[in-house]
Amino acid sequence: MRQLLLNWLLSALSLLIVAHVVRGFEVRGFLTALVAAIVIGLVNSTLGLFLKIVTLPLTILTLGIFWLVINALMLEIASWLVPGFTVQSFWSAFFGAIILSLVNLFLKFLVFDRFSP
């Protein structure tokens, strides 16, 4: 349970960092980032999973690059659902998805690698 909460907090922090780096990617505050992190997780685990399965042949043809498109679409859908979380264009979502993945990976590496037993 503690790891789940920490993962959620790191995802919200990642969203705030990406909002400072990517133009057109806006998060109004930490509470909005927490809600957006939950919504992004739910959208990715439902609609995102379905789209990744359906588009698997295209993903194989593009050597995995099409997954970035799907992740960008999931960020745009989440921005429609969460007030205060705005993604202005597809390209903001695309680059935001890439940077969000990298920042999230880095933060989780720092926290879970150093503090895990």
Q: What is the pTM of this model?
A: 0.86
Q: Where are the beta strands (DSSP E) in the chain?
A: 25-27, 85-87
Name residue 105's beta-bridge partners.
Answer: none
**Are 13 and 33 within 8 A, CB to CB?**
yes
**Are 32 and 78 within 8 A, CB to CB?**
no
User: pLDDT tens per residue, the chain (117 residues)?
Assistant: 788 888 899 999 999 999 999 999 999 999 999 999 999 999 989 988 898 889 888 889 988 889 999 999 999 999 999 999 999 999 999 999 999 999 999 998 888 776 655
**Are 112 and 90 within 8 A, CB to CB?**
no
**Are 69 and 94 within 8 A, CB to CB?**
yes
Task: List the domain boundaries for the chain.
Answer: 2-112
